[in-house]
Chain A
């Protein structure tokens, strides 16, 4: 199924690049739920670019599961820029020589124009009184989360729980693994993706708590109404960063470097930051964050770099074959 999607993408990219717009157009390859963010952002940038240079740019989007998306880019999908939800996806393109090694330093804030964090969605009134990560591992609580190894959403949840356990007094890798193990035992299933987890929790009414991105909570409110659930902010959680990068080989080949650079830089402009905030992603700009303070309650966050020494290490220790996730599921 994915192979055919990729083929369609490739073909359409091909058709598009020979149609002559290649010089004034950009292809932004992005993760699945970024659809709304960039749908709103692209007209903003087009307006800005038109005012600045008089050129009309054509902006095209491609959305899908993030690792599938970067594999398509590695296989030849001509993306000028990638806007992802996890560093490992961009790192893969670094490995393939498509993105510069220090991409995180080419833009401010670790090249992540906005952030999010993992929060809890509970049934209205929070009948089980779930407040902290520790409550999720208590006996008799059902936790809904996407697959911790196969989905970005799930990996953030896994690392958040692990990081919080590490930060407890006397916390170490062993206690963290025990804690995460208990939490995962409370999961009746691993959903196929973030949206599937939401459907399972909200529509099939399975579980006591759904762990998901803060930004997803607002979408749930739009879809199912605010009266159905409460959002619980634990005292601390993980910082989810969304790295962006130029695809060097493509921008050089298509001569779109300047445009692509401007496209990504503009994400940090007031307009770009406001757009992120309106899509419930935490803006980096302190002033914009202040303006939208009502929808972003303060929460202590830790980044993957701080606690795990970067994504490469976190992936190797936890999600690779034989990593901590696999160890939890060895028969003892």
Chain B
């Protein structure tokens, strides 16, 4: 088939080689390494009590953190795009801070802030809320590192929404809630999902910041990456790759699910707009 746009062969070749080297090669190494285990052995590791508990903590905290970020990240992005106020630039660059900060620094700082005698922790502790060294601490760390993913994904999309759309909705008699949920949100939703997915994926793999604030108690506040490191510390490299593979499979399935949701949302939006978008 003759294509109209030139450069397809070359650019596709580069894409495949690049992805192959960067993504597929390490991943296949992972699969290869863990193939030293029989399925029964792998299943044993995967369904061990501590492994299961750590998966619950990891994916649970990541989902929660990504959800928090989806809600508040949307507000932040909205404010940064729609309004102008003094210091907006500064606030805008603050959003990137979690990107730039080494994760261990973030973890240590958050642990110090939220510890019983920390600036924040000292006010929460009397209320019976313990953050540092509990699963809640994990959520805090993961929320911190995930924020820029949501905000930066949403900003360009919100910029694309013309204020006239809102005005039109208002003149046609839509309430504010209706304008938001029926007019604005459908356009933003796919990007919001992308941001959510990015924040979530980042959180699942996070190690550096979490271990300093988690407390790392088995069955309670132990994340799966910590168990992987634990196995590496015992030089059980095969066992470590087995857990890594397990995380990979779960993440892949979840991401597939989110992608499907996104596809569905995009299509619905498209249909509702009569194919005009």
Contact = CB atoms under 8 A, between A and B. Distances in A.
Contacts of B133: 188-189, 206
Interface in A295-325: 315, 319-321
A204 B118 contact: yes
Nearest to B219: A329
Contact of B216 (A189, A199, A204): A189
Given A147-B216, A189-B217, A192-B216, A92 B132 contact: no
A71 B212 contact: no
Interface residues of B, number: 37
Interface in A141-156: 147, 149-151
Interface string B215-243: 11111010000100111111110010000
A196 B108 contact: yes
A28 interface: no
For chain A, give the interface size range.
20 to 34
B229 A150 contact: yes
A134 B215 CA distance: 24
Contacts of B251: none
Contact of B235 (A88, A147, A191): A88
Contact of A315 (B104, B226, B230, B234): B234
A95 B234 CA distance: 13
Contacts of B231: 321
Interface in A185-225: 187-192, 196, 199-200, 203-206
Candidate in B211, B214, B218 with the most chain A CB atoms within 10 angstroms: B218
Contacts of B219: 329, 331
Contact of A149 (B49, B212, B233, B239): B233
> Which label, helix, strand, loop or mixed, suits the secondary structure of the A interface?
loop
A67 B233 CA distance: 6
A205 B117 contact: yes
B218 to A, nearest CB: 4
A67 B108 contact: no
A206 B137 CA distance: 16
Contacts of A173: none
Contacts of B199: none
Nearest to B118: A204
Contact of B49 (A147, A192, A331): A331
A330 B226 contact: no
Contacts of B116: 204-206
A289 B231 CA distance: 38
B232 A67 contact: yes
A53 to B, nearest CB: 38
A204 B217 contact: no
Interface of B: 45, 48-50, 103-104, 107-108, 111-112, 115-118, 132-133, 207-208, 211-212, 214-219, 221, 226, 229-236, 239
Given A1-B208, A329-B219, 5 more contacts: A149-B233, A150-B233, A204-B112, A204-B132, A321-B234
14 contacts: A188-B215, A189-B214, A189-B221, A190-B215, A190-B216, A191-B216, A196-B212, A199-B108, A203-B112, A204-B115, A205-B115, A206-B116, A319-B234, A321-B48
